[in-house]
Amino acid sequence: MKTPKLDLYYFPSCPFCYIVLQKIEELNLLVTLKNIQEDANARDKLYKDTGRYTVPCLYINDDPMHESRDIMDWMDKNKTNLDKAK
């Protein structure tokens, strides 16, 4: 099974994003971060793909997943198959 590419769309002051970022750090996962407050292209992509600007949104191989609890549960269930940060 190929390791999925993970991109987290977030913004720093979002408390739900913060807990997802803590989980990423706890599991030492390799995730590309996309701050939608600083990156207009990321913000536009999020809206184009989902019809909303709601964060956190984890893209798993370009398939968006919302809801912090769902994201953290998915990471916990798949942690052995995910790339680790250096």
Q: What is the DSSP string of 27-68?
A: HTB--EEEETTT-HHHHHHHHHHHSS--S-EEEETTEEEE-H
**Nearest 10 degrees: CA dihedral of 41, 82, 2, 8?**
-10
End-to-end CA distance of the chain: 21
Can you give the residue ranges of every domain in the chain? Answer: 6-81
Query: Over its length of 86 residues, how does the chain's per-residue pLDDT go in tens digits?
Result: 589 999 999 999 999 999 999 999 999 999 999 999 999 999 999 999 999 999 999 999 999 999 999 999 999 999 999 999 97
Supply the pTM of this predicted model. 0.95
Which fold, 6-81? Glutaredoxin (3.40.30)
